[in-house]
Chain A
Amino acid sequence: MLTVRRILALLILLAVILLGLVVWRHLQQAPLQEVLEALSPEIDLALDHLNYTETQDGRKRWTLVADRAEYLRAGNLVRLTPVQLTFYEAGAFGDLGLTADHGELQEDTRQVDVWGGVVIVGEGGERLQTETLRYQDQQRLLSTAAPIHYQAPRMELTGVGLVIDLQKNTMLVKKDVRMLLLPEPQENSGEN
């Protein structure tokens, strides 16, 4: 007959088995350190769907979105692929949207380097294409040494090397400049 003492013993046994099961299952999920070992040795941490906004005086300055972000141990660097950057209130340029295949964010200086199919689109439909671009947050400068191709309504501009100053609202094309200004489409000008 099952005495009270026997039931108690059974219960204790059950509890021990259950606890063992929990510990064993936990051991199956390798500890964080081992997960990290699974990433390449230079990476501290990897994140999916990064969405980061830099603000100043309570106002949004820029937003960085990346499908994948890898924090590199050395250099305080975050490697991003692909990259979407939105610059808010970039002076006379309005809001600017930047996309690129790859990017790197320097955490301390907030400098972002992007490369691979770099495209910037302005509010008025302006479009700038190049291969590499650097954004320096402290000076609010966008710059490249690569060829650029800029299109705006009835205007096309090509050149080599560019600096956009988001504070001064200026754009400098350094070399081999060609600008084409197209006339108003004929049927419009006929009506004026």
Chain B
Amino acid sequence: VDFFAAADSGQPLEITSNQLEVFQQEQKSVFSGDVVAQQGEMTLYTDQLTVIFDGQNDVSRVEAIGRVRIEEPLRHARGNQAVFDRAADTLILSGNAEVVQGENRIAGDEITLFIGQNRSLVRSTDSGRVRAVILPEKKPESP
């Protein structure tokens, strides 16, 4: 399951929101209110988005909090929170996390997507269970 390949880091990242607060010292920008972040064919919607930069204005970490929705042409994901860490190359969805691709669906308390490795780890805390529905690919009907 190939997640978030549509977020091509070679593309501009555009973020719109109602308000923005920049913390110059910490090189941190906090967008709040109807936040939409778009890069390539991936679009992320959330209530608040914190973007942390490294020295060269490169994004090193993104934290989305509140009604997170990530949409791509072939799949979408949902959760209360999402954290993208560039160094680890991971996207961690948490809080009623769910990823849907066509009729396939995985859900749990926390879904970790290892972006470069096309691998994901679904975890449930407390007594919750991981739920996964993976439908076999339909075989073409023999003539």
In this assembly, does B106 line the interface, its C-beta being within 8 Å of a C-beta of chain A?
Answer: no
Q: Which residues of B contact A (CB under 8 A)?
A: 9-25, 29, 31, 56-59
In this assembly, does A19 line the interface, its C-beta being within 8 Å of a C-beta of chain B?
Answer: no
Q: DSSP class of A's interface residues: helix, strand, loop or mixed?
A: strand
In this assembly, does A60 line the interface, its C-beta being within 8 Å of a C-beta of chain B?
Answer: no
In this assembly, does A21 line the interface, its C-beta being within 8 Å of a C-beta of chain B?
Answer: no
A183-B19 contact, Cβ under 8 Å, with A91-B24, A177-B31:
no
1/0 contact string of A45-58 vs chain B (CB within 8 Å): 00000000000000
B14 and A171 contact, CB distance less than 8 A? no
B15 and A170 contact, CB distance less than 8 A? no
1/0 contact string of A106-138 vs chain B (CB within 8 Å): 000000000000000000000000000000000
CA distance A146 to B45 in the complex (A): 27
Q: Which residue of A lies closest to B9 (CB)?
A: A183
Residue of B14, B22, B59 ringed by the most chain A CB atoms within 10 A? B22
In this assembly, does A6 line the interface, its C-beta being within 8 Å of a C-beta of chain B?
Answer: no
A170-B24 contact, Cβ under 8 Å, with A154-B57, A180-B12, A183-B11:
yes
A179 and B21 contact, CB distance less than 8 A? no
Count residues on chain A whose CB falls below 8 Å from chain B CBs.
27
Quick one: which of A155, A175, A186 contacts B57, CB cutoff 8 A?
Answer: A155
Task: Please indicate the chain B residues that have their CB under 8 angstroms from the CB of A178 in the complex.
Answer: 14-16
A92 and B24 contact, CB distance less than 8 A? yes
Quick one: which of A170, A177, A186 contacts B16, CB cutoff 8 A?
Answer: A177
A-B residue pairs, 3 tightest by C-beta: A92-B24, A171-B22, A169-B24
B18 and A175 contact, CB distance less than 8 A? yes
A170 and B22 contact, CB distance less than 8 A? yes
Task: Please indicate the chain B residues that have their CB under 8 angstroms from the CB of A181 in the complex.
Answer: 12-15, 57, 59
From 140 to 192 in chain A, residues with beta carbon under 8 angstroms from any chain B beta carbon are 152-155, 157, 159, 169-184, 186, 189
CA distance A149 to B114 in the complex (A): 37
Q: Tell me how far the C-beta of A49 lies from the nearest C-beta in chain B, rounded to whole angstroms.
A: 34
Quick one: which of B17, B23, B57 contacts A170, CB cutoff 8 A?
Answer: B23
Task: Please indicate the chain A residues that have their CB under 8 angstroms from the CB of B23 in the complex.
Answer: 169-170
A170 and B21 contact, CB distance less than 8 A? yes
B20 and A173 contact, CB distance less than 8 A? yes
